[in-house]
Amino acid sequence: MFNPINTNNMKVNTQSVNFNADQKLINFIQKRMDKLEQYYDKVIKTEVYLKIENTSGKENKIFEAHVSVPGDSFVVKKICKTFEEGTDSAVSSLERQLKKRKQKLRAHI
């Protein structure tokens, strides 16, 4: 089904390892990752991996994001209590990295 609302959003490929992520979580991740385009509009693709570590600790959710841009890629890995917390933490880290890259590119022009 064609969804006209999503035409400008980048495609976030979300993979959950050894469990099924519910649609609400996937939508949450997509929404947060879409914000990255405000900082850098040349994102080629985004891969997100969700894993649950078999530990007794509360912080057992692993959120890993791979963001590809022309000539570079960024990887952020966060271990948190919830995937939402990991998403927010990873996105703010990626925002900083993308802003830095954009400034570097501007300096070379």
CATH number of domain containing 40: 3.30.160.100
When mean pLDDT is compared across 33-37, 75-79, 83-87, the lowest value belongs to: 33-37
Collapse the DSSP code of 8 into the 3-class scheme (helix H, G, I; strand E, B; otherwise coil) and give the result.
Answer: helix
- The tally of domains found in the chain comes to 1
Percent of the chain with pLDDT over 90: 68
Q: What is the pLDDT of residue 41?
A: 86
Average pLDDT, whole number, for the chain? 88
The identity of residue 80, as a single letter, is: C
Q: What is the pLDDT of residue 109?
A: 63
Average pLDDT over residues 46-73: 93
Average pLDDT over residues 16-32: 95
Average pLDDT over residues 49-56: 91
More confident residue, 76 or 42: 76
Q: In this structure, are residues 101 and 72 in contact, taking their beta carbons and an 8 Å threshold?
A: yes
What residue numbers bound the domain in which 40 lies? 8-108
Task: Give the pair of three-digit tokens for residue 13.
Answer: 């490929």
Dihedral sign for Cα 47, 33, 78, 93, please: positive
Tell whether 1 is covered by a domain: no
Tell whether 16 is covered by a domain: yes
Residue pointed to by tokens 């990295």:
97
